[in-house]
Amino acid sequence: MRKNTLVRVLSVLILAVGFSATAAPQKDDGDSPKDTKTEIKEYIAHHLQDSHDFNIMASTDEETGEVHHYGFPLPVIFWDDGKLHTFMSSKFHHGETAVESQGNHYKLYHSKIYRVDADGNLNYDEAHGDHPTGRVHLDLSITKSVVMMLVTGLLLIWLFRSLAKSYGKNGSIPKGIGRFFEPIVLYIRDDIAKANIGEHKYKRYMPFLLTVFFFIWFLNMFGLTPLGVNVTGNIAVTAALAILVFLLTNFTGTKDYWKHIFDPLGDGMPWIGKAIIYIILIPIEILGLFIKPFALMIRLYANMTAGHVVLMSLIGLIFIFKSWVGGPLSFGLSFAISLIELFVALLQAYIFTMLAALYFGFASETHEHAEEHDGEVAHL
């Protein structure tokens, strides 16, 4: 517990240092200095976005106004104008310069790649003067979110391979870190999978449920470290997870599951009466197929994004107040919120896994009358 508290204090301190390094007034394109509030808003917006380089922190030279970035570049890979373009993101110089690649010029603008002219100027839509054109849509670059997902995936493989070997060597008794993770695995199996899917069909879904729980949890925890990578606050990531749940639910759905969607009233009602009611019920049932994964996507995205915004805003208040009262108060609130975020990181992984198991339970349902009939036959 003391170690976790120390990590949270260090995380808040490093975030505060990052703010202080970039909070000095800079100049925009019109050579007008930016105030602290504008700097904080831009810092938060930058933190929430994905990027083509892994930027850990930045500092501003107060005399020259030059910004120094500390981190490492990542591979840029995209398809444009019928050609595959590959180079390192360091050529962009954090969006300050254009890159010439195979006869065209490209530049970063709000973390997106655009085709520009030879001087690095964006082309704007004539109908909407502030809307740039020439965006590269097929961007396959290795961004910082992709890096963290790869790191998390490799960490999960190493962790659970070690746990499996520990079980094999010690007669199904976990050792070391396995003693911490075994109760979590058993809880997911007994209180999530079995309780929502059933004793006979839960095993087919267990690999996915375990993977998605620890994948989301670890990504959420990485987002609370000084690295500050907001992966689960990226709607593309949460959408991909929700689509996986949608596909598994519907491709493993039983005949009774689909019958419930297209024939929710069952037998026992005249066809004409059912036809009138089904005009309303069937579209609602079909719409529900898409509302469920959409709710999964928005819930995870919104909660994690809101947590990061609140935490970064409270840290930003330190540099707005600039006083012995406001500074410590903002830091204390930031530390308290960061502790709450530790719980939220686990809670969001639990909720996503629980709802996914609930949807899988709906998909693997069997007709109640058939079960009652089987029970009566067995009794006779």
pLDDT tens-digit map of 308-344: 888 888 888 877 777 777 778 888 888 888 888 889 9
Rg over CA atoms, the chain: 26
Query: Which residues, in sequence order, are bridge partners of residue 104?
Result: 101
Q: What is the mean pLDDT of residues 134-139?
A: 86
**H or E element at residue 86:** strand 83-88
Judge whether 67 and 26 are in contact, CB under 8 Å: yes
In angstroms, rounded to a whole number, what is the distance separating the alpha carbons of residues 338 and 333? Answer: 8
Q: Report whether pLDDT(104) > 70.
A: yes
pLDDT score for 65: 66
In angstroms, rounded to a whole number, what is the distance separating the alpha carbons of residues 339 and 367? Answer: 46
Query: Which residues, in sequence order, are bridge partners of residue 73?
Result: 53
Q: What is the mean pLDDT of residues 81-96?
A: 85
Judge whether 289 and 215 are in contact, CB under 8 Å: no
In angstroms, rounded to a whole number, what is the distance separating the alpha carbons of residues 328 and 310? Answer: 17
Q: Is 88 helix (H, G, I), strand (E, B) or coil?
A: strand
**Which of the listed ranges 109-113, 125-129, 201-205 does the model predict with the highest average pLDDT?**
201-205
**Predicted confidence band at 367 (pLDDT cuts at 50, 70, 90)?**
low
Residues 6 or more apart whose Cβ sits within 8 Å of residue 310: 337
Window from 31-40, 86-95, 125-134, 292-301 with minimum mean pLDDT: 31-40
Q: What is the mean pLDDT of residues 262-286?
A: 75
Residues 6 or more apart whose Cβ sits within 8 Å of residue 23: 36, 39, 40, 43, 316, 319
Task: Output DSSP code: residue 190.
Answer: I
pLDDT score for 273: 63
Angle at 19 between CA 65 and CA 142, to 5 degrees: 90
Q: Report whether pLDDT(43) > 50.
A: yes
**Predicted confidence band at 33 (pLDDT cuts at 50, 70, 90)?**
low
Judge whether 127 and 135 are in contact, CB under 8 Å: no
- Taking the CA atoms of residue 318, residue 319, residue 323 and residue 327 in that order, the dihedral angle to the nearest 10 degrees is 10
Share of the chain above pLDDT 90, in %: 28
Window from 177-186, 187-196, 266-275 with minimum mean pLDDT: 266-275
**Predicted confidence band at 270 (pLDDT cuts at 50, 70, 90)?**
low
**Predicted confidence band at 243 (pLDDT cuts at 50, 70, 90)?**
very high
**Which of the listed ranges 40-49, 77-86, 109-118, 221-230 does the model predict with the highest average pLDDT?**
77-86
To the nearest whole number, what is the mean pLDDT of the chain? 80
**H or E element at residue 365:** none
Residues 6 or more apart whose Cβ sits within 8 Å of residue 118: 98, 105
